[in-house]
Amino acid sequence: MSSDEPDFLSESMSRYLVDRIAATPNIQIHTRAELSGLEPNGDGDLAFARWKERDGGGEQRHEVGHVFLFVGADPVTDWLRNCDVALDAKGFVRTGPDLSRDDLARSGRRTIPASLETNVPGVFAVGDVRSGSVKRVGGAIGEGAAVVAQLHAYLADLEDRGQTASGQRATATWQAGDAIDLQREPGSCRGCRSGGPRDVEPR
Ligand SMILES: Cc1cc2nc3c(=O)[nH]c(=O)nc-3n(C[C@H](O)[C@H](O)[C@H](O)COP(=O)(O)OP(=O)(O)OC[C@H]3O[C@@H](n4cnc5c(N)ncnc54)[C@H](O)[C@@H]3O)c2cc1C
């Protein structure tokens, strides 16, 4: 293992994991290697793995009993593009201070939304799908808890204005633990409705 390899790993992996890998003597790191084949033994269990070094060096074949794949995360948010919800270059949902001026201008907002709110008023994102989140269970749980307060603030604001985003009188009252029904039409969000987010004055 060359000395720059842990640094290469840190581009895509948490520091604590890189440090643990580097400190474990029976781990050999092959960065820039591409798995090229898996071979079973007579019982159908994995016996050998083959990989190619991307920087050259040909194919290697070694006795390997287990393979764990971690090939990255795909947020699967293409459908949100139709709702005007701002996404980052990898498709994660931008919220709060991560929104650009263009994102805000596009949805007619003059102020930065709450930390977990998207550019579309009333649409929030938490957990792995949110751009810049820590991609950990604890982070997702924490954001899930924190967003409840932001939802209450958003709904209270609507109540203060005496209307919902679609111009209807707000009738719901909200208490912790209540199911949240944003009066959505099936298959749509406010941002998809004609004039949706633009009906709401920026807060
Ligand atoms: C292999 C692996 C190992 C991990 N190890 C750890 C670890 O050791 N410690 C740690 O803290 N974290 C770990 N994580 C990260 C952790 O799993 C995530 O951070 C956490 O699950 C995020 O929770 P989430 O609710 O934001 O997203 P998810 O758990 O991904 O939940 C999102 C849910 O939404 C559903 N969904 C997606 N699109 C739609 C849609 N259009 N309509 C309806 N439902 C939809 C999905 O099917 C899924 O059930 C690991 C992740 C992986 C992949």
Q: What pLDDT, on the 0 to 100 scale, is given for residue 137?
A: 96
The pLDDT profile of the chain, 203 residues, written as one tens digit per residue, is: 444 455 677 777 778 888 998 899 999 888 889 999 999 999 999 999 999 988 887 899 999 999 998 777 899 999 998 889 999 999 999 999 999 999 999 889 888 999 999 999 999 999 999 999 999 999 999 999 999 999 999 999 999 887 655 554 443 333 333 333 344 333 345 444 433 333 333 33
Atom in ligand 1 nearest the alpha carbon of residue 130: 26
What is the structure's pLDDT at 180? 39
Cα(127) to ligand 1 centroid in Å equals: 8
Are 142 and 127 in contact by the 8 Å Cβ rule? The answer is: no
In this prediction the pTM is 0.68
Q: Residue 192's pLDDT is what?
A: 45
**Ligand 1: distance of its center to the CA of 58 in Å?**
36
Ligand 1 near 113 CB (within 6 A): no
- Predicted pLDDT at 60: 93
* Residue 85 φ/ψ region, left for φ over 0, alpha for ψ in the -120 to 50 degree band, beta for the rest: beta
pLDDT at 73: 83
Give Cα separations from 182 to 77, 83, 95, 174, 203 (angstroms): 20, 15, 19, 11, 18
What burial class does residue 130 get, using C-beta atoms within 10 Å of its C-beta: 0-12 exposed, 13-18 middle, 19+ buried?
Answer: buried
CA distances from 50 to 41, 62, 67, 69 (A): 14, 6, 11, 14
Task: Report how far apart, in Å, the C-alpha atoms of 146 and of each of 23, 49, 54, 119, 126 are.
Answer: 36, 45, 44, 18, 9
Rounded Cα gap, residues 186 and 109, in angstroms = 25
162 lines ligand 1 (CB under 6 A): no
- The string of DSSP codes covering 45-73 is SEEEEEEEETTSS-EEEEE-S--------
Is the beta carbon of 128 within 6 A of some atom in ligand 1? yes
138 CA → ligand 1 middle, Å: 11
